[in-house]
Structure 1
Amino acid sequence: MSNDASPPGLMDLPATVGGYAAVEFGPLVRAFARMVGGQPGAGGALTVHLRGEPLVEIWIGDAAPRRPWDADTGAIVFSATKGIAATVIHRLADRGLIDYDAPVAHYWPEFAANGKGRITVRQVLSHRAGLYGLPEIARGLDDVLDHRMMEDHLAAAKPDHLLGIPAYHALTFGWLLAGLARAVTGRGMAELFRTEVAEPLGTEGIHLGSPPPGSTTSAALLHGNKLSAVGTNYVSLVLGRAYSLPGPLGAVARALFLPGLDQLLEGDDPPILRTELGAGNGVCTATGLATVYAALANGGMHQGRRFLSPETIRAMRQVETFRLDRALFYIPMMWHMGYHSLPVPGAHAGFGHIGLGGSFGWAEPRLGLSVGFVHNRLGIGSMSLDQLASAWVLPLVVRGAHAARRTTTPAVPAAASVA
């Protein structure tokens, strides 16, 4: 948006930032420009909805070399994908097709193998199924890319000693939900992302894997050294030997590492985009994520139409376990059914899901507030700071939302152009 002609109620954006933002979100916009901009080949976007109305939709930087970011640029959001996959399951539960407290095997009979007949949907959704380990179900990259085979392998797998205890199912979560959803509907998770989430909410910015031909969403290239350090012989040897270690280090290694898995992100058309990985390969725009979480933040309503019932929204808001997560170094994730909260300002009363590198979608029902934040930076040097993006985004969003709630008319432009 040109800084020369900002409509009333909208701030003059920094020259490098495209889109629009209500004046109350000035500190957020300036922090976004400083934290996300400045690296050629990298960029990102941030959208904020209040009571379903868009108050911020901004972007900066590059989706790829010589390809500027725009409103339709999506990024691989990694584990933020889990929140969308969980929303699919909640939509099915809302229609009475799934009961949270029923055994998964009631819908997916093959899942009863190896003593899993009593594991419930609620336990799977809150990372308590004891099925987080990769070495038990996959040999390497080719197996991980075969999502139907991974569903079958999980159906046959035996849970480990952490059954009933929160242990982050970093990759297996997506295949577990996909197998359950397939058993109920006969359809794969990529199709369900479209029919159960994107289409009912009228958003084009939600995809599982690469956006299909004809989509307005274009996927940003990953920028940085990605997971290359994990692929070295020395690191692979150390992580492989860590499988048998007791405690969190062993759990993390089993949940996240397989030899060759670093190649999942390599190239301009990385293999991760060519499968259905409901735990990690969503390609989403910031506005797509904010739109999904707007419905969850506003009692299940979207533009005057019901997306989820109040009863289902209450179930989604409930923290299922306050126990520390054994596969995330005892971080207090406060797992909901498919989402988490965080003990940081602006996040402790809300829920959503953060992905590797810091992209996330978030709902704050007390304010009717939703947030989508995406970017394409993924490198060892910036990882620690990027992963904590929610720690600066959410407090500034809540601050702006409190100020905006005091205004009578949301400042939303009819259209926005790139700066």
Structure 2
Amino acid sequence: MDIDGFTEPGFEPVRDAFAKNFDAGREIGAAFCAYRHGRPVVDLWGGETNVQTHAPWERDTMVLVFSTTKGAAAVCANKLAQEGRLDVDAPVVEYWPEFGQAGKSAITVEQLLSHQAGLAWVDEPLTLEQALAWEPMIHALEHQAPVWEPGSAHGYHAVTFGYLVGEVVRRVTGRTIGTYFHEEVARPLGLDFWIGLPEEHEARVARLYGSVLGDAPAPPGEESRASMAGLLGPDSMVVKALTAGGSFSEDGIFNTRAMHAAEVPAAAGIADARSVARMYAACIGEVDGVRLLSDAQVRDATTQRTKGPNIVLMDLDLQFGLGFILPSSLVRLGGPRSFGHFGAGGSAGWADPDADLAFGYVMNRMDVGLAGDQRSYTLINACYDALA
């Protein structure tokens, strides 16, 4: 299979690893990009965007990246904190007074960013259309009582994270998080990364495949697996978190124009690998004159705010700073100050300040796992091997 793009001298094994993912049947279409010292050293893409039409994955192909979007939302919040416009130690009600209902007046911005607020879903029944409209979900979160005592534990806010952080950004800036991200992060860096995709770009979005989406072909081996809801029950914490209480439970929704157009800052950003890598590179250093986060803000953002098991994700050791996933026994990528975010199905964005490396990986064949998978780990580790 043809692999397009380039690798800098010394990084040729990354291309080999990328090709092997296809040879092993683990990919339909994918892209991977790595930055070092603020410039691209790997930029690869290949495969198909659609198995029916066999349309090739092009240089400008984008795809929905699920929770890798949370990294973009975290960048927005940390940028506002760096500018002194958002105090992460302050109660959320200082920015969003209506949030204080149902015993939530003491919840801090830090607790929202680190998945400690106890608001991993809403009990109020909402249709998908209502959830995508933003305001109904915001009102439901205002009325929602925490499922656990805020700050006493942490549990993955798979969908609600984006609404919670996004509404704080909107209250601080007067702009939706999609607009703020575009104007303050994406546009200065020239990113093809969207939280709310304009219709003129829809034709460049690859179709996602996998049984978790109700779409064929399913990932190898997944045909025989029971669905998570069937295995754990629809009332399990993880299923309620992944569907925001049921609003996001319809099959195939992530391949629809309605989902792509909506602002779902935790789960439905549209991006290419190049833009994900470039964003993280600009968090740890200057990229073409643009620096998103200072060294001091990166230190604060990557200070671990959680400890112990993630009670939503079946007690996995997934730990958080200010919106970013940090190294743990589950996540072992790069140095101790590494940070980033993964997306369901396999996408990833990651940065390592010590090595001055940043990565982006996107794909359209959904695999099982919420914290990266063999494909992205193989590619990132190949970059470290190239440095060695």
Which residue in the other structure is 1:415 paired with? none
Q: Is residue 52 of structure 2 the alignment partner of residue 46 of structure 1? A: no
Aligned to 2:15: 29
* Aligned counterpart, 2:357: 369
How many angstroms apart in 2 are the aligned matches of 1:264 and 1:85? 25
- Please give the TM-score of this superposition, normalised by the length of structure 2: 0.87
Equivalent residue number for residue 66 of structure 2: 78
1:265 paired residue number:
252
- RMSD after superposition: 2.7
CA distance in 1, matches of 2:276, 2:40: 12
State the structure with more CA Rg. 1
Q: CA deviation at 1:36?
A: 3.8
TM-score (norm 1): 0.81
Provide the secondary structure at the position in 2 that maps to 1:261: coil
Q: Which residue of 2 aligns with 1:10?
A: none
Residues 271-308 of structure 1, C-alpha deviation per residue, up to 9 Å, x if partnerless? Answer: 4213110001000110100010001222xx33234422
TM-superposed deviation, 1:224:
3.2
Structure 1 counterpart SS, 2:148: coil
Superimposed CA distance per residue, residues 107-153 of structure 1 (whole angstroms, 9 cap, x where no aligned partner)? 0111111111111111100000000024x144342332222211221
Report the counterpart of residue 193 of structure 2 in structure 1. Answer: 206
Letter in structure 2 aligned against 1:364: D
Q: Does 1:116 align with 2:104?
A: yes
Deviation of 1:89 after TM superposition, in Å, equals 1.0
- 1:290 maps to 2:277: yes
2:241 corresponds to which letter in structure 1?
A
Native 8 Å contact 1:211 1:219 kept in 2: no
Cα distance change on mapping 1:341 and 1:393 into 2, 3 Å: farther
1:99 aligns with 2:87: yes
CA contact (8 A) 2:126 2:137 kept: no
Q: What is the one-letter code of the residue matched to 2:114?
A: S
Q: Find the partner of 1:311 among 286, 296, 299.
A: 296
What residue is the counterpart of 1:412 in the other structure?
Answer: none
Residues 236-247 of structure 1 aligned to structure 2 (within 5 Å)? 238=230, 242-243=234-235
Moved more, 308-317 or 173-182: 308-317
CA distance in 2, matches of 1:236, 1:223: 17
Q: Deviations over 1:21-65 (max 9, x none)?
A: 123222221111121467699301000000111110000101223
CA distance in 2, matches of 1:71, 1:383: 26
Query: Contact 1:19–1:59 at 8 Å: present in 2 too?
Result: yes
State the secondary structure of the residue aligned to 1:221. coil
Q: 5+ residue gaps in structure 1?
A: 1-14, 244-249, 404-419
Q: Does 1:16 align with 2:19?
A: no
Aligned to 2:219: none
Q: 2:177 aligns with which of 186, 189, 199?
A: 189
Distance 2:250 2:22 in 1: 26
Distance 1:311 1:93 in 2: 11
Which position in structure 2 is the counterpart of 1:320? 305
**Contact 1:41-1:223 at 8 Å conserved across structures:** no
For residues 124 and 78 of structure 1, what CA distance do their matches in structure 2 show?
19
Query: Residues 355 and 237 (structure 1 numbering): CA distance in 2 closer, same or farther, change over 3 Å?
Result: closer
Which 5+ residue runs of structure 2 have no aligned equivalent? 216-221
Describe the shift of the 1:25–1:138 C-alpha distance in structure 2 as closer, same or farther (beyond 3 A): farther
**C-alpha distance in 1 between matches for 2:252 and 2:174:** 29
**Deviation of the 1:326 alpha carbon:** 0.7
Q: Give the secondary structure class of the aligned counterpart of 1:73.
A: coil
Match of residue 163 from structure 1 = 150
Q: 1:228 to 1:216 in 2, by over 3 A?
A: closer
Q: Alignment identity in percent?
A: 33
Distance 2:382 2:26 in 1: 26
